[in-house]
Chains A and B, each alone.
Chain A
Amino acid sequence: MALVRVISSDGAAFLVSQRLAKRSGKLKTEIETFRKSSDNSEAQPEIRIVTIRAEILRLVLQWLQQHQNDPVLPANQNEQDGRGDAEMGQSQWDRDFLAPMDLGIVMELILAANHLEVKGLLDITCKLVESKITGRTVDEIRTAFKLKSDFKGNEEEQTRLENRWCVEN
Chain B
Amino acid sequence: MEEKEMKTGIHFVNPAPAPMEVEPTEAPIMGSWDSLPPELQEIILGKVDTSKDFFNIRLVHPKWRDFVDSYLEQQCLSVWTTWNPFADRFSSPRSLLHFIPVMTPVPVWVGTPSNDLRLIAEWNHRSLPLVENPKLGSPFPGSSIHITAECKYPGAWHPYLAPNTMTMAKDLCLNYGHYFTSIILSEFNNGLELLCDILVNLTNLKALTVNNVMLASSSTDDLPTLPPLPNLTHLKIFSLTSGVSQLLLNAYSGQLVSLETSIFIRRCVQPFNNLKELKLQANIKPNLSFPQLGPNPFPVLQNFSVIHSSQTFEWKELIEQVDSLPRTLVNFHLDVKVKKEVEEEEMEMDGFVKNPNYYEQEVVVPNNFTEVTTLSLFFPQNRREAVKIGTMILPKFPNITELNLVRFQYDYVESLEEVDGIWAHRYDTDSKTVVRRVEAAGQFLRVCPKLKKIKVHLRGDNSGYYVFYKDDFGEGVE
Which of A's residues lie within 8 Å of B, judged by CB?
Answer: 1, 3, 5, 9-17, 19-20, 42, 54, 58, 61-62, 65, 68, 80-81, 102-108, 110-111, 114, 122, 126-127, 129-130, 133-138, 141-142, 145-152, 155-156, 158-169
Contact = CB atoms under 8 A, between A and B. Distances in A.
Contacts of B61: 142, 147-151
Contact of B36 (A12, A107, A136): A107
- B12, B48, B56, B60 pick with most chain A CB within 10 angstroms: B60
A127 B44 CA distance: 7
21 contacts: A3-B6, A5-B13, A9-B20, A14-B13, A15-B11, A16-B10, A58-B12, A108-B31, A122-B43, A126-B40, A129-B44, A134-B48, A136-B56, A150-B61, A155-B62, A165-B101, A165-B127, A166-B142, A168-B127, A169-B101, A169-B125
Contacts of A17: 6, 8
Nearest to B10: A61
B13 A15 contact: yes
Interface in B6-60: 6, 8-20, 30-33, 35-37, 40, 43-45, 47-48, 50-53, 55-60
B141 A12 contact: no
Interface residues of B, number: 61
B33 A145 contact: yes
Contacts of B130: 161, 165
B477 interface: no
Contacts of A141: 56-57, 60
B458 to A, nearest CB: 15
Interface of B: 1, 3, 6, 8-20, 30-33, 35-37, 40, 43-45, 47-48, 50-53, 55-65, 99, 101-102, 125, 127-130, 136-142, 462, 467
A136 B64 CA distance: 15
Contacts of A14: 10-13
Contacts of A80: 462
A12 B10 contact: no
Contacts of A156: 59
A155 B136 CA distance: 9
A141 B102 CA distance: 30
B15 A12 contact: yes
B51 A167 contact: yes
Contacts of A102: 31
B11 A16 contact: yes
B15 to A, nearest CB: 7
B32 A146 contact: yes
Nearest to A161: B130
Contacts of B10: 14-16, 58, 61-62, 65
A67 to B, nearest CB: 12
Contacts of A146: 32
A114 B61 CA distance: 25
Given A10-B20, A110-B36, A165-B101, A160 B59 contact: yes
A20 B30 contact: no
B345 to A, nearest CB: 39
A44 B317 CA distance: 66
